[in-house]
A and B are shown apart, each in its own frame.
Chain A
Amino acid sequence: MKLDTSGLESFPSLILHGNDVAGEISAPPSFDLPNSNDFDGFLKEAIQMVKPAKGTTTLAFIFKEGVMVAADSRASMGGYISSQSVKKIIEINPYMLGTMAGGAADCQFWHRNLGIKCRLHELANKRRISVTGASKLLANILYSYRGMGLSVGTMIAGWDETGPGLYYVDSEGGRLKGTRFSVGSGSPYAYGVLDSGYKYDMSIEEASELARRAIYHATFRDGASGGVASVYYVGPTGWKKLSGDDVGELHYHYNPVTPSTTVEQEMVDAAAA
């Protein structure tokens, strides 16, 4: 639908007749508007399209000692922060963790359901399910609900007979095996810090510091992430929560306020009127 911009023309159409070059230079500016009734909405949509959805920051990576999993704890409804203390790292069973990004209810319910299926597998087969198997179960379930509006972006992290395992599973049906993932609106920020600081040979302390740092930097830049940065470690004996630090306090921990001896501006009393 091309909007009628004739009303914007400020000079008479007489000028347009005559020699072509002059006509082109003096022609009134006009442009094709996109085919929609709501142009502002379209513009907003275009920006939203590129920004990853799912207001949160979660990350997980495999390193020499096992898997490190970290997440923020903010829940937002549009511009309103509905909670600063959401548990986004879900304990599926004592040796497997899942992270939550997307719809809170969807993630909680399906992770709980996955925990049930994993336990049933253990009872039926007399052995623990592998991380590969657990992630495939979840991926198949989510695939069957494709297009029905589920919003789940999760990572399944665990330790099984083959060692540490990490899978990314989402509600579009995708399932990826990998060594480093970050999911959520803050994930691009977290990736930057995570990728540059990552080494396979890290100690548990170094890895937890890297995870915490990446979450902190993401919460600093992303409005939909914040609250508490929780860090969990999954090792051969199962998972263990390592830390949960408020990101506001972390900010001053990483950027200490130094009292300066020189004063920038000094307030002087105004001269008596």
Chain B
Amino acid sequence: MECVFGLVGNGFAIVVADTSAVHSILVHKSNEDKIMFLDSHKLIAASGEPGDRVQFTEYIQKNVALYQFRNGIPLTTAAAANFTRGELATALRKNPYSVNILLAGYDKETGPSLYYIDYIATLHKLEKGAFGYGSYFSLSMMDRHFHSGMSVEEAIDLVDKCILEIRSRLVVAPPNFVIKIVDKDGAREYAWRESVKDTPASA
């Protein structure tokens, strides 16, 4: 089952997602990147049905880019989150998307923020959030060890604790995770936590 979780620290926000693409009992791929760069300072981590996940997040990404082209300035994280929620809500009673999203971003004026948007268009601004079976383990871990204004090292330590707990306690635990971070210097990949390495395509 897909595990996505994230938290806000001192001047940064971190999101973590598993990287398995699964079809019933088969694992098709264990290095599928589920955290997309929405723009230079925003990350969108999505979990849900494969088609919906990619199509919906790409749709949001292109619309956010369009806004920037039209208006010359990028959207704030709050605006992007509310736009995403609006799109989910509009589609909900006709053709719902089964995607759960954690949107993390950094704004110059307001600093880092994390938004929890679930598949029925619930929107919450939070300091820590999680989706999937992994949330049963990571939420309590984060509740116990989180405090406002954590440093990057403390936050990564907490993330590793959560990953360890998921790996040891979840029956169908995903083997690999990707960690991405967003701060004043932009959104970037921080690290991978791999326990099963795919044979690389090229040397």
B50–A173 CB distance below 8 A:
yes
B26 contacts which of A52, A142, A143 (Cβ < 8 Å)? A52
B199–A173 CB distance below 8 A:
no
B203–A143 CB distance below 8 A:
no
A172–B49 CB distance below 8 A:
yes
B201–A62 CB distance below 8 A:
yes
A200–B200 CB distance below 8 A:
yes
A172–B199 CB distance below 8 A:
no
B200–A168 CB distance below 8 A:
no
A52 CB contacts on chain B under 8 angstroms:
23-26
B199 contacts which of A142, A170, A198 (Cβ < 8 Å)? A198
Which of chain A's residues 124-147 have a Cβ closer than 8 Å to chain B? 139-140, 142-143, 146
A168 contacts which of B24, B28, B49 (Cβ < 8 Å)? B28
> Does A58 interact with chain B (Cβ within 8 Å)?
no
Interface string of A172-212 (1 = CB under 8 A from B): 11111011110000011001000000111100000000000
A49–B202 CB distance below 8 A:
no
B21–A176 CB distance below 8 A:
yes
Question: In which size bucket is the chain B interface?
Answer: 20 to 34
Which of chain A's residues 141-165 have a Cβ closer than 8 Å to chain B? 142-143, 146
Question: In which size bucket is the chain A interface?
Answer: 20 to 34
The answer for the CA separation of A173 and B14 in the assembled complex, in Å, is 29
Number of A-B pairs, beta carbon distance below 8 Å: 58
B52 CB contacts on chain A under 8 angstroms:
173
> Does B54 interact with chain A (Cβ within 8 Å)?
yes
The answer to whether residues A174 and B26 also contact, given A179-B198, A200-B199, A200-B203 and a CB cut-off of 8 A, is no
A49 CB contacts on chain B under 8 angstroms:
24
Which partner residue on chain B sits nearest A180 by CB separation?
Answer: B199
The answer for the CA separation of A52 and B26 in the assembled complex, in Å, is 8
B198 CB contacts on chain A under 8 angstroms:
179
A181–B51 CB distance below 8 A:
no
A181–B201 CB distance below 8 A:
no
Q: How far is the CB of B197 from chain A (nearest CB, A)?
A: 12
> Does B32 interact with chain A (Cβ within 8 Å)?
yes
Q: How far is the CB of A50 from chain B (nearest CB, A)?
A: 6
A174 CB contacts on chain B under 8 angstroms:
21, 23, 50-51, 54
B199 CB contacts on chain A under 8 angstroms:
179-180, 198-200
Which of chain A's residues 73-107 have a Cβ closer than 8 Å to chain B? none
Which partner residue on chain B sits nearest A175 by CB separation?
Answer: B54
The answer to whether residues A191 and B26 also contact, given A174-B21, A176-B32, A200-B203 and a CB cut-off of 8 A, is yes
A176–B29 CB distance below 8 A:
yes
Which partner residue on chain B sits nearest A142 by CB separation?
Answer: B51
A52, A142, A173, A174 pick with most chain B CB within 10 angstroms: A174
The answer to whether residues A172 and B50 also contact, given A179-B198, A179-B201, A200-B202 and a CB cut-off of 8 A, is yes
Which partner residue on chain B sits nearest A172 by CB separation?
Answer: B51
A188–B26 CB distance below 8 A:
yes
A140 CB contacts on chain B under 8 angstroms:
55
A143 contacts which of B23, B25, B51, B200 (Cβ < 8 Å)? B51
Interface string of B83-118 (1 = CB under 8 A from A): 000000000000000000000000000000000000
Q: List 12 A-B contacts (CB under 8 A).
A: A52-B24, A62-B201, A142-B51, A143-B55, A173-B51, A176-B21, A176-B28, A176-B29, A176-B50, A188-B25, A191-B26, A199-B199
Q: A50-B24, A179-B201 are in contact. List 4 more A-B contacts (CB 8 A).
A: A143-B55, A187-B26, A188-B26, A201-B203
